Amino acid sequence: MITIADAACAELDEASGAILDFGFDPRDEESLTNAALWLRRLGNNRTFLGDRIIEELAGRHREEVLDNSYGPQVITLVPPNGNFFIRANLWPALDDHMARASGSAPFVYGMPHDHNFDFLTIGYFGPGYWSDYYEADYDQIVGWRGEPVPSLRFVERARLEEGKIQLYRAHIDVHAQRPAEALSVSLNVLHTTPAQGWFDQYRFDVERREIGAIISPGPSEALLKVAIGLGSAEAIDLGHRFARRHPSDRLRLAAWDALASREIGPDAKDAVWREAEGSGSRLVEMESRARRTELASLGGSQ
């Protein structure tokens, strides 16, 4: 929780410029306080977001749709700029048309997860979504499915009400969001770094206190799987090199996964995962064991 009493209002460009001038580093108290102050002032502006949405809708026919970072839930207000960007998030109630049409999954309601980035948020409109908050020790986590997380502990259940400012700390705060009682909107200032994509984000099983899955695959993994699937000699060689030596365990696992997917039959796939199991990565080792167990249930090798 960050408490700032300030009644001033700011326009989006003004707030963005003030944060850009100071920089946004959540680990620095002055930088964090500056960003929170301008987020508060932006949140005090009760008309800017509605005006922005109307402006975009009115001019949409004159612009390329792909140039706008808009989706059904997230509105990018300020694209990545320095080391931050600003967005608005929509949180529908379960009886809102948006949620009835698509279900709750796109809004990650009920899915305990952490983030691989820090961000500030403020309740802007509506009663706000609820969250069950937990904390975990990221340094103790390897990331394989079913890995015990004894450090995971419940903190509280709370609601992001209008005017409430919170800092979500990367790799520490875990939350399971609950639906808002009526359509709500939050504003976020997100911290960005070039290395961010290499840090994993997890889904947690809070009942078992274990890792459910890695939920932050990057574009490199998809490209690698496509290249290996196409099957050129260079791609296969790259896949083997990444699988054995890449500094990212997640990308190593993706490489082994792609290599195994090229094989036909449980025995051939099991041979790939047997090699992967001894490749020197704890994450790959444990995921390989799970894959081999799955293959054994299909009648492959033990």
Q: Interhelix angle for 233-245 vs 219-230, to 10°?
A: 140
DSSP one-letter code for 163: T
DSSP result, 224-258: HHHHHHHT-HHHHHHHHHHHHH-S-HHHHHHHHHH
Residue 137 has pLDDT above 90, yes or no: yes
- Regarding predicted confidence, which is higher, 56 or 274? 274
Which of 135, 39, 28 is CA-nearest to residue 87?
A: 39
Our CA angle for 177, 28, 157, nearest 5°, is 20
Give the number of other CB atoms < 10 A from CB of residue 39: 24
Q: Which CATH superfamily is domain 12-214 in?
A: Jelly Rolls (2.60.120.10)
- Pairwise CA distance, residues 245 & 32, whole Å: 37
Q: What percent of the chain has pLDDT over 70?
A: 95
Look over the chain and give the mean of its residue pLDDT values, rounded to a whole number.
92
* pLDDT reported for residue 81: 87
How many CA atoms, within 13 angstroms, populate the side-chain half-sphere of residue 111? Answer: 16
Using DSSP's 3-state secondary structure scheme, residue 194 falls into coil
Using DSSP's 3-state secondary structure scheme, residue 182 falls into coil
User: Which two three-digit tokens encode residue 105?
Assistant: 């999954």
Residue 201 has pLDDT above 80, yes or no: yes
* pLDDT reported for residue 49: 96
67-126 tens-digit pLDDT? 444 456 889 999 998 899 999 999 999 999 888 888 877 888 999 999 999 999 999 999
* pLDDT reported for residue 301: 53
242-285 tens-digit pLDDT? 999 999 999 999 999 999 999 999 999 999 999 999 999 999 99
Length of the chain equals 302
DSSP result, 116-153: SS-EEEEEEESS--EEEEEE--GGG----TT-B-TT-E
* pLDDT reported for residue 60: 63
Q: What percent of the chain has pLDDT over 90?
A: 81
Using DSSP's 3-state secondary structure scheme, residue 66 falls into helix
* pLDDT reported for residue 241: 97
* Domain assignments of the chain as residue spans, ordered by start: 12-214, 219-292
H helices present in 64-218, as ranges = 97-102
- Pairwise CA distance, residues 179 & 165, whole Å: 19
Q: Where are the beta strands (DSSP E) in the chain?
A: 74-81, 84-91, 119-125, 130-135, 153-159, 165-168, 173-178, 184-191, 202-205, 210-214
* pLDDT reported for residue 66: 44
User: Which two three-digit tokens encode residue 50?
Assistant: 């509605």
Residue 127 has pLDDT above 60, yes or no: yes
Q: What value does the mean pLDDT take over residues 48-67?
A: 73
- Pairwise CA distance, residues 181 & 164, whole Å: 17
Give the pairing type, strands 184-191 and 84-91: antiparallel
Residue 300 has pLDDT above 60, yes or no: no
